[in-house]
Structures are given as structure tokens and as C-alpha cells.
Amino acid sequence: MKIIMLGAPGAGKGTRAAVIAEHYKIPHISTGDIFRANIKEGTALGLEAKGYMDQGLLVPDELTVKILLDRVAQDDCRDGYVLDGFPRNIPQAEVLDRELDKLGDAVDYAINVDVSDEVIVDRMAGRRACLKCGATYHVKYVPPEKEGICDKCGGELVLRHDDAPETVSHRLKVYHEQTKPLIDFYEAKGVLKSVDGTGDVKNALKDIVDILG
């Protein structure tokens, strides 16, 4: 079962990807994690990607897909995987499809976590992160015991730049322009499934099992 997660920033893709991975016993693969691992290990692909990143350039889609395919070729992916963070646009999806096709493979499901922009802005504006240990909270949904103070280490809780309303609005604009078209792309292939991202995360597994079986 090879799954791609779709949805706007803050929609809860990562949370649901982790739920899917645990239930179906398949790896949750984040492209960011793959890059960091390859660079840390000094692999040929990692060094090539680092060359672009050190220049402030985007890693080419073809190289990103090579790194991804290298990861999914590992033994723990024999029964499938959940891909989180790639593709981000139609050209990347086309490269991924082309390379998977060469291997006689294909994406089984693209799961879109559906959440309105208004909910996402409210959700992310309420996030708080600890400056010391990195623990995260939400002023409305997961508040700390003491306002502005981390329960775990007593560090100061702050609103991260990535979660500020103006930053979120920009990220949503980029999403609508570049990433949202993937919904139609995968729907045309007959593999798109949608789940409500505004519901309780505790019900996320039921929603997904109802779709995937």
C-alpha cells in the first residue's frame, strides 16, 4: 500500500500519516527526514543535494525522486509506505509517476486532508513552542498548565514565525497555487481519497480505515 498525503500546511497530514503508518505497519517517510539522513551519512545523493542547498537553491525534482526511490527500495518498504511532503506540485508528481512506472510500480492512494483556510489560520495562530525543549502546545486545544510556560521543562512558550498569521497566509497562497492542483491530478488517476481534517484526531484512524479497509 503506497500512499501520498495531501493537504494544506497545518491540515494535519503528518499526524494522520503517523496513524496510518502505525496501523498498517508501514514506514512514515518525510522527504525532509530523507534529505537530512542522506546528508548526515554523506551518501553520494546526499552530497549532491547538499551542493544545491548550500547555494540556496532548490534540489531538482529528479534528484529528490532519486533520493526518495532509494529510501522506498529498502526492506521495510516492501509492504508499502506513507509519503509525507512530496510531491508538492504537478511537475514533481509527474517525475515521481514516471520513475515509479519504470519500476512497474504506482501510487495506490492519495489522501487529501480537507481543512478550510480559516480553520488552519486559527489552528496555527494558537500554536506555541518551547524555546528550550521544542515541545508544542495549543492555547485552545492543548494548553500548558501555566500560560506561557512549558509543562515539561519550564521553558518559555512562543509563537513561531512559521505559525504567525501573515506567514501562514503566504504559505496557504503558495499551497493554492502550486500544491492544491495535485488533488485534481490524483483524482483523474482514480486514486484520490478525502478525509475531514477538522475532526478529532482520535477518530482519524476510523476515517482512514473506512477508506482504505
**What does the pLDDT look like over 101-132, one tens digit per residue?**
998 999 999 999 999 999 999 889 999 999 99
Please identify which of the residues 2, 16, 128, 171 carries the catalytic annotation: 171
Query: What pLDDT does residue 101 have?
Result: 94
Please identify which of the residues 50, 88, 180, 193 carries the catalytic annotation: 88
Is residue 213 pLDDT above 90, yes or no? no
Q: Which residues pair with 209 in a beta bridge?
A: none
Is residue 203 pLDDT above 80, yes or no? no
Please enumerate, as own/partner, the contacts of 56-65 that have beta carbons within 8 Å and a separation of 24 or more.
59/35, 61/91, 61/92, 61/95, 62/95, 64/31, 64/92, 65/92, 65/95, 65/96, 65/99
Please identify which of the residues 16, 71, 127, 128 carries the catalytic annotation: 127
Query: What pLDDT does residue 199 have?
Result: 75
User: Nearest 5°: phi and psi at 97?
Assistant: -60, -45
Rg (CA), the chain: 18
* Residue 123 annotated to the active site: no
Helix and strand element counts for the chain (H, E) = 9, 8
Q: Which domains does the chain have, with CATH numbers?
A: 2-115+174-212 (3.40.50.300)
* Residue 171 annotated to the active site: yes
Please identify which of the residues 13, 16, 123, 128 carries the catalytic annotation: 13
Say what the pTM is.
Answer: 0.84
Average pLDDT, the chain: 92
**What does the pLDDT look like over 30-79, one tens digit per residue?**
988 898 899 999 999 999 999 998 898 888 989 999 999 999 999 999 99
Cα distance between residue 100 and residue 86, in whole Å: 14
* Residue 127 annotated to the active site: yes
Is residue 212 pLDDT above 90, yes or no? no
In 3-state terms the chain splits into helix, strand, coil percentages (rounded to 5) of 50, 15, 30
Short-list 29, 7, 32, CA closest to 204: 7
Please identify which of the residues 98, 152, 160, 173 carries the catalytic annotation: 160
Kindly indicate the confidence band of residue 149, based on its pLDDT and cuts at 50, 70 and 90: very high
Query: What pLDDT does residue 107 have?
Result: 96
Mean pLDDT of 71-93: 93
Q: Looking at 89-98, 143-152, 200-209, which range is the least confident one?
A: 200-209
Q: Within 10 Å of residue 31's Cβ, how many Cβ atoms?
A: 20
**What does the pLDDT look like over 154-172, one tens digit per residue?**
999 999 988 898 999 999 9
Cα distance between residue 177 and residue 180, in whole Å: 7
